[in-house]
Every structure is written in C-alpha cells, then in structure tokens.
Amino acid sequence: MKASNFFLPIRREVNEVSISAKIMLKSGMIQKLASGLYSWLPMGYKIMSKIENIISEEFENMGFNRMCIPTLHPADLWKESERYDAYGKEMLRVFDRKNNEFIYGPSAEEPCVDMVRQANINKNNLPINLFNIQWKFRDELRPRFGVVRCREFYMCDGYSFHETVDQSSKFYDDVFKGYHRIFKKLGLEAIAKEAETGEVGGLKSHEFHIPSDVGEDEIEINGSNKSSLELGHIFLLGDRYTAPMKLSITNSENKQFPLIMGCYGLGVSRIVAAMIEKYYNHESDSIVWPIDFAPFAINIINADMKCENCINLSNEICNKYKNIAFYDDRIISVGQKFTASDMIGSPIKIVIWPKELKNGLVEIRFQGKKENIEIEKIYEYVNNIMQF
C-alpha cells in the first residue's frame, strides 16, 4: 500500500482525555461522528479486522460456528424473554414504516434462541454452538473514553445449547480456557473474576478484566485495588431464555425440556482500545504493533523522493510485500514520514536513504535495533522475521 493511495488523516492535536481515544483519533484510526459513535477509518478498521480474525479463529477452534444476526430485532422477541422492560432506556427502539417496533440489539440471546428454535432440533443435533461478530447498540447514560465506552460497538457473542447443565458447564469451562488463549494471543493479560449474572441472568458468570487507566471497575490485582477494564464476560445461562422462549427437545419419555444455554461475549472494539494502551509508548509517543496484528507489518520510508533509485527500490519492496507493506511515497520531509511512522506502528521499518543506497545499503529497524544491510539481503531478512 502506498501512502498516496491510503486515507490516513493523522492529526497533530486532538482534544481528548483518555489515552486510547487520543491516540486513536491522532493516528487516524477513528473519527467521532456523535457522542458515543465512532467511524472506523481505514487504518483503525484494519487493526480491528485483524483482531476480529484472531478471535473468530479461536471461536471456531472451540467448536463455534460463525453466523450473523441482524442488528435490528423484532421487539416481540425481547418481550418473550421479558427483557424488553428490564433493559430500559439503554435499548434503542425504532419503528418501521408499518409501525412495527424493532430494537437495535444490545445483545443477541433472543434472536439466537429463535434461530435454533426455528430449526426444530432433536437431541442428535446437540450441542449447537454459534457465534457472531456484529455491531451492538446500548444507549449509555454517559458514553466516554472513545471506543472504550461508546454506544455502538463491535462485539463477538457466542451462544451454546446443550442437553444438560453438566454438558453446558463443561463447555463453559472450555470457553473459559479459550478466552485466556485469545487474550494471550493478543498480548493482553486478562484476569478472570467470578461475577454477578445481573440483567443477563443464569447460573454463573465470569468477567475478564485487564488493568487499565480507563477502567471502570475495580478488582484486586497483586493485593491492591486497581481500576480495571472489562473486555469479556461469559455466562452459564441455564434455561433463562430457552424456557420462556420455549426452545426445548423431547426426550424418550415424550417429555419436553428446555435446552441449557450459555453465552460468551467479547468486546472487539473495546479490545482495540485496550491494545492501543498496551502498545503505545508514552515516552516516544509511538506505537509498535506485534507482527501478528500490525495493520502493516512493514513500513517503507523513502527519505528522498527525488532519488530515482530510492523510488525504484521502494516500489520493488512495496510490490513484493503488497498486503503487509506501507510505503510512504508522499513528497514531504523525512521527519514527517518518521512521525507518521510512529503512529502507524509497523514493527519492521525499512528506511531508504539516498547516501546509503549508493553504497548498496538500506536501513532496517526492528525491535529497537537499527542496522544497515545490503540490498540483496532485504528479502531474506524480512522473510526471516515474517517466517515466510
């Protein structure tokens, strides 16, 4: 990708309080559209998509099937589960042209139960494990901290259906472990904590927190109370939804009993904010992404746009690594390119200086080291890091 073809509005100044919101706005990842509503610009969307993919993969590894539920749900479904009134003003209600009432889903237990119950299943179909990654809306009293506590957010929500509580509970434990694997992959050290089931209901639940400055909860970490940020929450729901919504199967004695359900949430857009806080360095005012989810693993900085050889080499490297390289081909000072580079956060930076190039060398920066290597060895060097 060339900078000249990529919409990346980096800002010098931004009026924001929380670190993640400030960096995300500054670095051109997001823009505010209204209170609690953020547009994801190309760079931010790339990052979120990478995280989404990692989460999606792990959910599939755990045995979930990915599907997708609309953002709008018929209000009647939520009346069936008796959450329509319980959810209150946080739930956004909309009416279509026929004056039918819908809600913009703050979660998706109801339509998911409906999805399974329409399928007319028997015990041989069990277990059924589904998940979707979809936008949710909660009309928060006070949105804040950018995408940490916004109104429209991107959430991964899984739903499991088993015959017995024991089976459901065992799966719950598997997901519990799976969550730790996901957080580890993302480089986040999440702490699980038994929690209230609250509004959602059910038999038990666990929250997953990371220590954070923009946290909203307090949990005990290493003996002291730190405010923390909740990134995920899993629930063993029992028949909280399946009973009122009549999702049941018939046993050999011709008796009907409701399925045992679990639900598993992960705040994808919130995780992006958490990761900014993790991978942003205050002293250098820069981001360094791990290779696995860097929006661009390689940043090519051409120091002299008048140097033909520099341009040719930059183009060559950029073409070679089309999908993972970001070539700053703008006709601006090197200093500005470095500043942009600090915000882009590519772990591998290739700087092409005209004087070094004359000696057949280019500069590569990786993991805090800066070294000049011969042109012929660039690909070997990069492939080695990328494990190609």
Partner RNA sequence: CGGGGCGUAGCGCAGUCUGGUAGCGCAUCUGCUUUGGGAGCAGGGGGUCGGAAGUUCGAAUCUUCUCGCCCCGACCA
Binding site for RNA (CB under 7 A): 10-15, 17-18, 32, 34-36, 106-107, 109, 136, 140-145, 149, 155, 157, 196, 198-200, 207, 216-217, 230, 233, 265, 286, 303-304, 306, 333-336, 338-342, 351, 353-356, 363, 365
Cα–Cα distance, 14 to 21 (Å, whole number): 9
Cβ closest to RNA, residue 25 vs residue 126: 25
Least spacing, CB of residue 48 vs RNA, in Å = 18
Give SS3 for 288.
coil
Nearer to RNA, 133 or 249 (CB): 133
The smaller minimum CB distance to RNA, of residues 52 and 342, is found at 342
Closer residue to RNA, CB minimum distance, 269 or 286: 286
Q: How far is the CB of 34 from RNA (least distance, A)?
A: 4
- Which of 92, 121 has the CB closer to RNA? 92
Coarse DSSP helix, strand, coil percentages of the chain, rounded to the nearest 5 percent: 35, 30, 35
Pick 38 or 321: Cβ nearer RNA: 38
Backbone conformation region of residue 198, classed left if phi is above 0, alpha if psi is from -120 to 50, else beta? left
User: Shortest Cβ distance from residue 45 to RNA (Å)?
Assistant: 20
**Three-state DSSP class for residue 251:** coil
CA pair distance 359, 363, nearest whole angstrom? 12
Closest distance of CB 342 from RNA, Å: 5
DSSP string, 95-110: E-TT--EEEE-S--HH
Q: Other CB atoms closer than 10 Å to residue 194's CB: what's the count?
A: 8
CB of residue 387 to RNA, shortest distance in Å: 25
Q: Which is nearer to RNA, 70 or 198 (CB)?
A: 198
User: How many CB atoms lie under 10 A from the CB of residue 191?
Assistant: 16
Residue 349 φ/ψ, nearest 5 degrees: -120, 130
Which residue lies nearer to RNA by CB, 144 or 204?
144
CA distance 270 to 215: 11
Report the run of H or E that residue 50 belongs to, with start and end: helix 42-61
- Give the nearest distance from C-beta 25 to RNA in angstroms: 8
Q: How far apart are CA 185 and CA 54, in angstroms?
A: 8
Q: What is the token pair recorded at 244?
A: 């009122």
Q: How far is the CB of 251 from RNA (least distance, A)?
A: 30
Q: Which amino acid is at 157?
A: D
Distance between CA 73 and CA 157 in Å, rounded? 15
CB of 266 to RNA, least distance (A): 10
